[in-house]
Amino acid sequence: MNLCPRCHFENRLGAPACQSCGATLSSWGTLASQPATSGTRPQVTVRVVRADGGPELAYSLRKDEAVAGTGGEILLMDDPFVARAQARFFFDGASLMIEDIGRVSGVYTRLKGERDVKPGQEIRCGRQRLVYEPLAPAPPSSPRMWGSPEAGCRGRLVQILEGGLRADAFPLRDGENLLGRDHGDIAFPGDGFVSGRHALFTVRPREVKVRDLGSSNGTFLRIDDPTRLDVGDQLLIGRQLLKLEFVA
């Protein structure tokens, strides 16, 4: 059967168009599109893994660009955290790029290796949305006031709830800071999507870095600018995971 990515109607195999909404289908059930103009570009398939356990959808990128969202060529359906046009895939020569055009909920890329964390950057671990804020060190001789930075604390991770509300703040001290479900300097015991040892934040005098510790669901950083994508990259948009497949 060919599953229509627009309305999810099950069409007969080889149907040229969806019998329910009329969307044009290719032979494998995705929206048909014109082939890319450059012969040096890789063939890219975007696979959407829905958080509600719905069927995984596959979209082949054959145009110069494609929009992902609740109303785009790459459909991310029934997700209140996804805008109608949330992200734009486009080719820069032979390189595939992604740009956040929805802004509110963001587009996140899965960590591969260790990465710098910039002031104001957002991180997602499991169901947690965190933002990094640097702090000016408190003078050692001054008396501490309620809410003032702790000694040896160069920054903090602030938990962001649905609707943008700020919740708990977790100090980041010099050296290694472990984030996990049950143990660590930053713990989220009620989040089953956070691994026991999920991520490690390393604080140095002039930088803060983060790396994933082999967690089941990954650690994701929000992108601010158009970002180049590569083989095996994964994206988190709203509650849906996007996996990229490249064929040279």
| Domain of residue 156, CATH code | 2.60.200
pLDDT score of 155 more than 90: yes
Least confident residue range of 28-42, 55-69, 100-114: 28-42
Q: What average pLDDT is seen over the chain?
A: 85
Are the beta carbons of 246 and 47 closer than 8 angstroms?
Answer: no
Q: In the structure, what pLDDT confidence band is assigned to residue 11 with cuts at 50, 70 and 90?
A: low
Which one, of 113, 99, 117, lies nearest residue 229 by Cα? 99
pLDDT score of 151 more than 70: no
Q: Is residue 217 part of a domain?
A: yes
Contacts of 141 (CB under 8 A, 6+ apart): none
Across 1-29, average pLDDT: 61
Across 66-71, average pLDDT: 95
What is the model's pLDDT at position 247? 80
The model's pTM is 0.77
113 with 170, same domain?
yes
91 with 194, same domain?
no
Q: Is residue 25 part of a domain?
A: no
* Full DSSP string of 141-206: TSPP-TTPPPTTEEEEEEEE-TTS-EEEEEEEESEEEEEESSSSSEE-TT-TTS-SS-EEEEEETT
Report the number of distinct structural domains present in the chain: 2
Q: Is 88 left (phi over 0), alpha (psi -120 to 50) or beta?
A: beta
Q: In the structure, what pLDDT confidence band is assigned to residue 162 with cuts at 50, 70 and 90?
A: confident
Which one, of 87, 26, 5, 43, lies nearest residue 15 by Cα? 26
Are the beta carbons of 57 and 5 closer than 8 angstroms?
Answer: yes
Q: Is residue 8 part of a domain?
A: no
Q: Domain range spanning residue 236?
A: 33-106+224-247
Q: In the structure, what pLDDT confidence band is assigned to residue 141 with cuts at 50, 70 and 90?
A: low
Pairing of strands 153-160, 166-173: antiparallel
Tens of pLDDT along 106-135? 999 999 999 999 999 999 999 999 999 998
Q: Is residue 238 part of a domain?
A: yes
pLDDT score of 71 more than 80: yes
Tens of pLDDT along 169-224? 999 999 999 999 988 999 999 999 999 999 999 999 889 999 999 999 999 999 99
Q: In the structure, what pLDDT confidence band is assigned to residue 28 with cuts at 50, 70 and 90?
A: very low
116 with 217, same domain?
yes
CA atoms of 54 and 164, how far apart (whole Å)? 27
| Domain of residue 236, CATH code | 2.60.200.20
Identify the bridge partners of residue 98 per DSSP, sorted by sequence position: 89, 227
Which one, of 131, 63, 125, lies nearest residue 96 by Cα? 63
Are the beta carbons of 236 and 124 closer than 8 angstroms?
Answer: yes
